[in-house]
Amino acid sequence: MYCEAQANTITLHSHSKAGKTLRNKVSIGEYLAFLSTKHQVDPDKFFQALTLAEQNQEATCGELAIKCRARNQDKITILILQGQKVVAQMPISREFLQDQRNPIRDLMKTRFASRNAPRNSADSLLHIKDLRYGMKQVSLKAKILELPEPKLVYTRFGNCSTVSNATIMDETGTIKLCLWNEQITSVATGDVVQIENASMSRFKGENQLKIGRKGKVSSLKQSNAELEIRSS
């Protein structure tokens, strides 16, 4: 994936298996939020490093080096490096850098900024209130409030499977969790579970979490107090 930056948007280019070039336009802020998430750097420190690069020509933030390549009255052009590897080069308006609210932090939960983000450490666990349709690689801890009796269904591949749409909760909200076959019997109502590599989908107009072949759900056998999950 590479990018071309123009004005306040970036055009991202990626290549499909068929050899076609795919384009996706996102704002400068969304792309910076994506980089902040991908490289696991604090958005406030990342934004501060960008403003320091404007003033001092260069700055560092975690594993990223930021260099100011050009400047004029309205914008600067920055180069972001990871070691010797070029991560991105783009123009950023001075108006963007002068925003006291830090627009990068405000955009961290957008669908584009969240995708391909690492979800392996405890610090990267999400809360239910953070979930948005289309998000992938979702990891979180929650309590199973309800686990309905499994239903027997036939899949589009002609297989017979069991499915149960559990209701899970954390301190920020509730959501449905779609469980299949062995996933259903591995947990019980009242369990606190850890969910890894799930994705957000929509069924009959309602958002729900789905666990694919690379995902998993496991009971932690820990108390609600330890995980700060409270009933309303």
Q: How far apart are alpha carbons 22 and 112 in whole angstroms?
A: 15
Residue 188 has pLDDT above 90, yes or no: yes
Distances (CA, A) of 149 to 32, 185, 188: 45, 11, 11
The beta strands (E) that lie in the chain are given as 2-6, 9-15, 21-27, 58-61, 64-71, 75-82, 85-93, 138-146, 151-154, 160-170, 173-180, 192-203, 206-219
Instruction: Pull the structure tokens for residue 220.
Output: 């932690």
Query: What percent of the chain shows pLDDT beyond 70?
Result: 78
At 227 the three-state DSSP class reads helix
Query: Could you list the residue range(s) of the whole structural domain that residue 172 is in?
Result: 122-227
In a domain, 205, yes or no: yes
Mean of pLDDT over the chain = 81
Give the model's confidence band at 7: pLDDT under 50 very low, under 70 low, under 90 confident, else very high.
Answer: very low
Residue partners of 124: CB distance under 8 A and separation at least 6: 40, 117, 118, 139
Task: Provide the domain count of the chain.
Answer: 2
Instruction: Pull the structure tokens for residue 209.
Output: 């979490």
Residue partners of 225: CB distance under 8 A and separation at least 6: none
Which has the closest alpha carbon to 36: 24, 54, 25, 48? 48
Q: What pLDDT was estimated at residue 30?
A: 86
Residue 106 has pLDDT above 60, yes or no: yes
Which has the closest alpha carbon to 211: 166, 178, 174? 178
Q: How far apart are alpha carbons 38 and 36 in whole angstroms?
A: 6
In a domain, 104, yes or no: yes
Do 129 and 108 have their domain in common?
Answer: no
- pLDDT tens-digit map of 114-171: 655 554 444 467 899 988 888 888 899 999 999 999 998 887 777 888 999 999 999 9
In a domain, 232, yes or no: no
DSSP code at position 126: B
Q: How far apart are alpha carbons 115 and 124 in whole angstroms?
A: 13
- Among candidate residues 88, 114, 140, the one where a domain is terminated: 114
Q: What pLDDT was estimated at residue 53?
A: 93
Please give the helix or strand (H or E) that residue 34 lies within, else none: helix 28-38
Give the model's confidence band at 232: pLDDT under 50 very low, under 70 low, under 90 confident, else very high.
Answer: very low
Do 110 and 134 have their domain in common?
Answer: no
Q: What pLDDT was estimated at residue 100?
A: 85
Do 99 and 146 have their domain in common?
Answer: no
Do 24 and 54 have their domain in common?
Answer: yes
Q: What pLDDT was estimated at residue 111?
A: 63
Q: Mean pLDDT over residues 183-208, rounded?
A: 91
- Report whether 64 contacts 80 (CB < 8 A): yes
- Among candidate residues 89, 114, 139, the one where a domain is terminated: 114
Q: What pLDDT was estimated at residue 231?
A: 46
Q: What pLDDT was estimated at residue 228?
A: 47
Residue 223 has pLDDT above 60, yes or no: no
Q: Phi and psi dihedrals of 165, rounded to 5?
A: -95, 95
Q: 27 pairs with which residues across the strands? A: 9
Q: What pLDDT was estimated at residue 135?
A: 86
Q: What pLDDT was estimated at residue 220?
A: 85
Residue 9 has pLDDT above 60, yes or no: no
